[in-house]
Amino acid sequence: MEQLNNITAHIKDELLIGPEAPIVVQTMCNTHTSDVEASVAQCVKLYEAGAQMIRLTVPSMGQVESIREIRARLRTQGINVPLVADVHFSAEIALAVAEVVEKVRINPGNFHKDHEKARELFAQLVQVCKRNGTAIRIGLNHGSLGERITNLYGNTPLAMKEAVMEWLNMCVENDFYNIVVSLKASNTIVMVEAYRLLAEQMKENGVVFPLHLGVTEAGNGDGGRIKSCVGISALLSDGIGNTIRVSLTEDPVNEIPVAQYLADRYDGRLYSSMSAIQIEGKKVVATYAAPSRERLLLDVSCDFGKRLLDREIDEIVLKGYYLDLEGNEVLLDDSEFAEYLVDELLQAARRRFYRPEYIACPGCGRTMYNLESTFNEVMRRTAHLKGMVIAVMGCIVNGPGEMADADWGYVGEGNGKVSIYKKKTPILRHVPENEAIEKLLELIEKGDC
């Protein structure tokens, strides 16, 4: 094996991402980037909440100027938080915006249908980033692997690893190391395996790039938090991962405390509130003295997520208490809440499905409808469909590709219209938003089309 080279990405002079630095907490705006006022206001809010890096979507060339303006306004307010441009399907935008922001997130595979052309465009982007000191995140998601790679390896964690290695090798050939990599999936098993395979391969090759971790389309509420913690903590506790985003279908400011908890815990600044543990075979009895409901939820997810994913345990019994908002002890022994928490945890680790599995993107500047309330309504109306996988996605550009293994998908088209998907196939298009949930339910009830 060659000598190991652990790479640290330099996000201009502002931030380091890599083994020499603490875990970096980041998030993404869900404003329209063209709405400069709203985007600046949200960036300020996210920065004040603790975001160390903020991503904004750049869906058109016109919005390159918007992000330039957003950045300038933040800098005038003394906010130097690095900005990341999220670019899909357009090398032209990536090349232009790389001169403006600190980091560009791309999936080079979707730069062009012709793979050789995509490689050429990526090589051009690397040169622009080198000249401007801009970092790149190569962000491949499970749902958006190209046909070329899935024909070779199937829609698998191995395919994700193989796909990203090609671009990383190109970076090495071009002597460009200002790179961060992500291999997100909404399925925690797929996500953890993909990152583990990649970490192993990079070690073998002797060049270890920093990793951005996240469970994509994790949803919202307790379920979204638990799923994110299960996937991210499994990797952080393996020593894999340098920056994290907890994607929630909520106000992005809510992502920060969860991500900060993970960063603090795996950088050794915070410990679980578990006070005792008994293990008998694959059964665990854990006792907690948690300072809040939220802390209990995060602690339990991180304490047992990895062990469930790795099948080291099958059963969890929670005892002890958490403190409610008035400081009263809420007992866990034989409680409905403890049972619910264990059910959610088993579902997040895909060990047992006690309700439908939801895939919902966090939304971004491409979202043209009220994603959060629609998702809540879809969950309310489909709660009885145990085991079914239902996706609610913000846009038609990335939504269908990203919803991976959903049985049904509700995908916003923009202009008040929705497409309904069965697996990967759109079976109804241009449905007015106010009729779309009804239509989705009718189709699910019929079972086919």
Q: Which residues contribute to the site for ligand SF4 (CB under 6 A)?
A: 361-364, 366-367, 393-395, 397-399, 402
- Taking the complex as a whole, the smallest distance from the CB of residue 245 to ligand SF4 amounts, in Å, to 11
Q: Is 197 left (phi over 0), alpha (psi -120 to 50) or beta?
A: alpha
Nearer to ligand SF4, 22 or 426 (CB): 426
Nearer to ligand SF4, 345 or 395 (CB): 395
Nearer to ligand SF4, 110 or 367 (CB): 367
Residue 149 CA, distance from chain mean position? 22
Return the axis-axis angle of helices 188-205 and 293-309, rounded to nearest 10°.
60
Nearer to ligand SF4, 7 or 54 (CB): 54
- Taking the complex as a whole, the smallest distance from the CB of residue 180 to ligand SF4 amounts, in Å, to 18
Cα–Cα dist 286/266, whole Å:
20
Spatial CA neighbour of 191 closest among 406, 404, 423: 404
- Three-state DSSP state, 432: strand
- Taking the complex as a whole, the smallest distance from the CB of residue 56 to ligand SF4 amounts, in Å, to 11
- Taking the complex as a whole, the smallest distance from the CB of residue 360 to ligand SF4 amounts, in Å, to 9
Measured CA to CA in angstroms, residue 60 lies from 41, 63, 91, 264, 268 at distances of 21, 5, 11, 37, 41
- Taking the complex as a whole, the smallest distance from the CB of residue 224 to ligand SF4 amounts, in Å, to 14
- Taking the complex as a whole, the smallest distance from the CB of residue 361 to ligand SF4 amounts, in Å, to 3
Residue 194 CA, distance from chain mean position? 14
Cα–Cα dist 212/352, whole Å:
28
Q: Are 310 and 279 in contact (CB under 8 A)?
A: no
Instruction: Give alpha helix (H) positions in 144-292.
Output: 147-153, 157-173, 188-205, 221-236, 255-266
- Taking the complex as a whole, the smallest distance from the CB of residue 395 to ligand SF4 amounts, in Å, to 3
What is the arrangement of strands in the sheet containing 329-331, beginning at the earlier edge strand?
274-280, 283-290, 315-323, 329-331
Nearer to ligand SF4, 241 or 363 (CB): 363
- Taking the complex as a whole, the smallest distance from the CB of residue 367 to ligand SF4 amounts, in Å, to 4
Nearer to ligand SF4, 231 or 362 (CB): 362
Place of tokens 């918007």: 66
Spatial CA neighbour of 5 closest among 206, 199, 242: 206
- Taking the complex as a whole, the smallest distance from the CB of residue 306 to ligand SF4 amounts, in Å, to 27
Cα–Cα dist 143/192, whole Å:
15
Nearer to ligand SF4, 87 or 163 (CB): 87
- Taking the complex as a whole, the smallest distance from the CB of residue 140 to ligand SF4 amounts, in Å, to 14
56 phi and psi angles, rounded to 5 deg: -135, 145
Nearer to ligand SF4, 192 or 396 (CB): 396
Residue nearest to ligand SF4 (CB): 394
Cα angle value 404/408/410 (rounded, 5°): 95
Cα–Cα dist 368/31, whole Å:
10
Nearer to ligand SF4, 171 or 440 (CB): 440
Nearer to ligand SF4, 181 or 360 (CB): 360
- Taking the complex as a whole, the smallest distance from the CB of residue 402 to ligand SF4 amounts, in Å, to 5
Nearer to ligand SF4, 57 or 273 (CB): 57
Q: Are 88 and 398 in contact (CB under 8 A)?
A: yes
Please count the other Cβ atoms lying within 10 Å of the Cβ belonging to residue 173.
10
